[in-house]
Structure 1
Amino acid sequence: MRKVYHLIRQIGVTSKYKGYYFLADAIKMAMESLEYPLRITKDVYPPLARKYKSTPNNIEHDIRTVVNVCWSSNKDQLDRIAGYTLSYKPTNSEFVDMLAYYLSENEWM
């Protein structure tokens, strides 16, 4: 989990955002299931909502806030992680997938 938190901080997100913890858990879940597509609205938001005693809508909103923060303040870093220049802000699902794939491909981090 340390690598996940390290990467999230590298893209400009700190623990002052509730989405910081939600994103970290979502990335961990995605890394555990790289063999099949992760359905974020069914496989991620409901379990996180139960874990954090919240709602799936709140989880989605808080992760989206983190995506917006990264997009507006650290786009260059996101481009580097994606491996190409992003032409649009990624969705929550794309964002989680991109970070999970990056971490799984860069185990040396």
Structure 2
Amino acid sequence: MREIFRVVRHMGITAKYKGYYYVAEAVNMTIEQQGKPIRITKDIYPRLARKFKSTSVNVEHDIRTVVNVCWLTNRKMLEEIAGYPLRYKPTNSEFIDMLAYYVFQTGEEKRNIFTGYGSQVDFCGGSLQ
């Protein structure tokens, strides 16, 4: 989780946004569910709402706020994380998928330095190509 929070903070999102915690937790859930489709409205939002004693609608709105802030204030880093130029603001699901892939891959690279092994991961259901 520390790496997830680090990446989110580098994008200009701080704990003053409720979505800061929701995004971090959603990215963590996505990494744990690697290889399975992201069902954000069926799985992620309800779990976050229960955990943080909120509603799915509020969770969705607060994550969308984070995406908007990143899009308006730090688009260059968002494109770096995506790995390609973004022509439009990512959806919540695309945003979470991009962050999950980025965090997982940077963690893999760090682990590979010590182990010498590589692995491929497929985050299904996201927008990464």
Q: Same fold (TM over 0.5)?
A: yes
* Structure 1 spans left out of the alignment, 5+ residues: none
Q: Secondary structure at the match of 1:26?
A: helix
- The equivalent residue for 2:20 is 20
- The equivalent residue for 2:77 is 77
CA RMSD of aligned residues (A): 1.0
- Taking only the aligned residue pairs, the percentage that are identical comes to 59
- The equivalent residue for 2:127 is none
Q: Secondary structure at the match of 2:15?
A: coil
- Residues 39-69 of structure 1: CA deviation (Å, up to 9, x unaligned): 0001100011011110000000000000000
Deviation (angstroms), 1:34: 1.3
Q: Secondary structure at the match of 2:6?
A: helix
- The equivalent residue for 2:2 is 2
- The equivalent residue for 1:58 is 58
- The equivalent residue for 2:67 is 67
Tell me how far apart the structure 2 counterparts of residues 83 and 95 of structure 1 sit (CA, whole Å): 12
Deviation (angstroms), 1:38: 1.0
Query: How many residues align structurally?
Result: 109
Is 1:39 matched with 2:78?
Answer: no
Deviation (angstroms), 1:25: 0.3
Tell me how far apart the structure 1 counterparts of residues 38 and 77 of structure 2 sit (CA, whole Å): 24
Q: Secondary structure at the match of 1:106?
A: helix
* Structure 2 spans left out of the alignment, 5+ residues: 112-129
Deviation (angstroms), 1:78: 0.5
Q: Which amino acid aligns with 1:28?
A: N
- The equivalent residue for 1:100 is 100
